Amino acid sequence: FLPHLMAALEQVDETYIMVKPDGVQRGLVGEIISRFEKKGFKLTGLKLFQCPKDLAEEHYKDLNAKPFFPKLIEYITSGPVVCMAWEGVGVVASARKLIGSTNPLQAEPGTIRGDLAVQTGRNVVHGSDSPENGKREIALWFKEGEICQWTPAQEPWLRE
């Protein structure tokens, strides 16, 4: 009974992770996917995509008053990105930890940005900052039918 109750309290979240154009150009796609895969999260959506300007602006709308906004939109639309949806208990906060601080020089070694990047404006990867934004961003970047529900064979070896 108690394990079932505890399992019910462990909410499954989803997060939107994106390899930015610099990550794609630098050949880091496999490395970045691998970090989330090895941790034990479930991949539910994946595509290579050239982002149009209006989508980039919608995705980053909370930052549209920032001085760097035009350059951010230019950066995100400058080449293909890899769009991913990942699912799991605590996946939003855990993915942010795996990614590291926005400024790669402040990101801890062992994190994606800490290991693979040197500048905020070229920080190789995006991750949603809340479960609500995870849902919002997945709905923004993926069409219906592009998200797969499936049960990984490793599940009983990841969670008791």
Report how far residue 42's alpha carbon sits from residue 114's, in angstroms, rounded to the nearest whole number.
23
| Phi, psi for residue 14 in degrees, rounded to 5 | -130, 150
Which one of the spans 27-35, 36-44, 78-86, 122-130 is the region binding ligand IDP (CB under 6 A)? 122-130
Q: Are 55 and 83 spatial neighbours (Cβ–Cβ below 8 Å)? A: no
Q: Are 96 and 108 spatial neighbours (Cβ–Cβ below 8 Å)? A: no
Provide the 10 A C-beta neighbour count for residue 48.
Answer: 11
Q: Are 10 and 119 spatial neighbours (Cβ–Cβ below 8 Å)? A: no
Q: Is 102 in the site for ligand IDP (CB under 6 A)?
A: yes
Q: Which residue number has the CB closest to ligand IDP?
A: 102
Report how far residue 40's alpha carbon sits from residue 120's, in angstroms, rounded to the nearest whole number.
27
What track of x and - describes contact with ligand IDP for positions 56 through 95 (by CB under 6 A)? -------x----x---x-----------------------
Q: Is 130 in the site for ligand IDP (CB under 6 A)?
A: no
Catalytic site includes residue 126: yes
Q: Which is nearer to ligand IDP, 10 or 74 (CB)?
A: 74
Please give the residue ranges that form the binding site for ligand IDP (CB under 6 A). 63, 68, 72, 102, 120-121, 123, 126, 129
Per the annotation, binding residues for ATP are: 20, 68, 96, 102, 113, 123
